[in-house]
Structure 1
Amino acid sequence: MRITAQVGRALGVTVEGFAAGRATAADIAELKEAVYTNKIAVVKGQELTPRQFLALGRRLGRHADFHLPVYCQAGKFWHSNRHLTANPFDLSLSYPRAVPTYFIDMAAAYERLPNDLKFEVRYATATYGVLRYAELGPRDKAQKLADIVEQVNARTPPVTGPAVSKHPHTGETVLHVSEGFTMALQDTDGADRPDLLAALLRETGQLDPTYQHENIHLQAFEQGDLLVWDNHSLVHRAAHNAAPEPVVSVYDE
């Protein structure tokens, strides 16, 4: 197995010679180490059936079923998988890949924040939910707005958690703020801080309509590429609207 840095890119490595069906425990450990160190691994030359894809996910960690509600189109905004909880997945895999994807390393983005924003968010509490990007289906439109909100919150209730935490595998400080799912921030006094949330989204690059912000990494793909990324520290979004691609997310335990 050969692992090389992506030339001219701040994030990511290319992995060649990885055989999912024959990978040893050492191969799996080396792949995971490459992902945690470099955030993204593009594994070349894969020909996986859906069953083989799931089997590889189980070898990388404890698979947890994850299905976004149909009323939330996650490819249209910045998010991480399971960002609707205080415990995002560690790793995500997607195969096959066709649609280019934007990524932001929220550990590096935190380090680049102005010192005043770092101080303000370090002990803040975040509230996560789906209402900002919830989309109505045909049957929903016949209901009262209050009933729709109640239904959405019943399916995916808002949760709270620290806005900043240590990465469980690298020890990095990670900012857990996403355009899609962070509904509010509260400071240590419990006061709502919409100004702080807006500033963090702007400073990390999530409000840049040109995608030219220094934090944003565009990852392209070729046929046969398998993508593995550090879901705990990256937020992502599709480069353009497209049908969802198969994703498996796992807890690395």
Structure 2
Amino acid sequence: MRLRPAPGQALGAEVTGFELENASADDLKTLRAGIYEHQLLLLKEQHLDPAGFIALGKALGTIETYYEPMYHHPEHPEIFVSGSKPGENFKGVPQTGKFWHADYSFMPNPFGITMTYPQIVPTTRRGTYYLDMAKAFADLPESLRNTLRGTKVEHSARRYVKIRPSDVYKPMHEVLADIERTTPAVYHPTVFRHPVTGVEVLYVSEAASFGFVDRNGVRLPGEILQEVLERTGQLDPECRDPRIHLQTFVKGDLLIWDNRVLVHRALHNPAPEPAQSYRVTVHDDEPFFGVEDGNA
């Protein structure tokens, strides 16, 4: 197995020669360390069936099955399915993740590692945008960093909703009530130190963040969240901010990233071309938030 920084890119590393069935304990240790060092790994020439993909997730930690069954692979609920594959008798949910987010940030216990395994890659536009929120925090003005340390940020799933079949013809107030009942808002540290690397991470996303509260639970002005999103590049509609990394992929590629540090956003092909990806999400052996800055 060989792991090397992606040539010409500030973010990510490429892994070649990795075969799960032949991977040693040292290989898996190197893979885990690479996730934290490089934030994003692109494993080349993978040939895993669904059970093998799940086995890779279990080799990295404990798999979290997504709470909404409509995303589940019919035979392997641990796999979240985005898109559909011609000839299959089940349909994944199309066009997922078209907004900046960290997976599961709106839940009480987010996970540390996300893996996606494209099954059908369109011939034209397809990829995922990433932003390094440790670097984004370091680039903020010192006064704003000091304002954010020690605060908490509200996360909720209520901004972007995938309508379920059972929601058709249901009054919107009932749909919203279901969201609040199933995924009530949670408050996470706005800034924390990564439990492995020790860097300060800004845990804020355009999709799920709804404002900051101070140590006493008092809501900070909404303009602060707007400024943070603007300064971190998440309000750029064309994703041309120089800090944004676009990771493309080909058939056989498997992406693994540090879900603590990176927020991401899918790049979808607007043309009606088949596309499908599998996703497995993993709790690693570390506390998610490490040490909350300002409260240590």
Identify whether the pair has TM-score above 0.5, normalized to the shorter chain.
yes
Task: Kindly indicate whether the alpha-carbon contact (under 8 Å) linking 2:128 and 2:266 is maintained by their aligned counterparts in 1.
Answer: yes
Give unpaired runs (5+ residues) of structure 1: none
Task: Kindly indicate whether the alpha-carbon contact (under 8 Å) linking 1:85 and 1:161 is maintained by their aligned counterparts in 2.
Answer: no
Count how many residue pairs are aligned between Structure 1 and Structure 2: 253
The superposition leaves residues 125-162 of structure 1 with CA deviations (integer Å, 9 ceiling, x where unpaired) of 11111111124457536444432221111111111121
The within-5 A match list for 1:63-142 is: 63-68=63-68, 74-96=96-118, 98=121, 99-137=126-164, 140=167, 142=169
1:57 corresponding residue in structure 2: 57
Give unpaired runs (5+ residues) of structure 2: 72-92, 286-296
**Bigger CA drift: 71-80 or 98-107?**
71-80
> Matched residues in 2 for 1:45 and 1:210: separation?
31
Task: Kindly indicate whether the alpha-carbon contact (under 8 Å) linking 1:77 and 1:180 is maintained by their aligned counterparts in 2.
Answer: yes
**Bigger CA drift: 116-125 or 39-48?**
116-125
Q: Percent identity of the aligned residues?
A: 38
The superposition leaves residues 172-204 of structure 1 with CA deviations (integer Å, 9 ceiling, x where unpaired) of 111110111112222345124311111111111
Higher helix share: 1
Task: Kindly indicate whether the alpha-carbon contact (under 8 Å) linking 2:211 and 2:219 is maintained by their aligned counterparts in 1.
Answer: no
Query: What is the CA-CA distance between 1:167 and the residue it aligns to?
Result: 1.1
Distance 1:96 1:144, change over 3 A: closer
> Matched residues in 1 for 2:113 and 2:164: separation?
31
Distance 1:55 1:70, change over 3 A: closer
2:231 corresponding residue in structure 1: 203
> Matched residues in 2 for 1:18 and 1:44: separation?
8
The superposition leaves residues 70-101 of structure 1 with CA deviations (integer Å, 9 ceiling, x where unpaired) of 69974111111111135421111111363310
What amino acid sits opposite 1:222 in the alignment?
Answer: V
Query: What is the CA-CA distance between 1:36 and the residue it aligns to?
Result: 0.6
What amino acid sits opposite 1:251 in the alignment?
Answer: H
> Matched residues in 2 for 1:86 and 1:213: separation?
31
Report the TM-score when normalising by structure 2: 0.79
> Matched residues in 1 for 2:210 and 2:111: separation?
19
> Matched residues in 2 for 1:91 and 1:40: separation?
10
Report the TM-score when normalising by structure 1: 0.92
The superposition leaves residues 205-228 of structure 1 with CA deviations (integer Å, 9 ceiling, x where unpaired) of 110112121221100112111111
CA RMSD after TM alignment: 2.1
Distance 1:133 1:178, change over 3 A: same
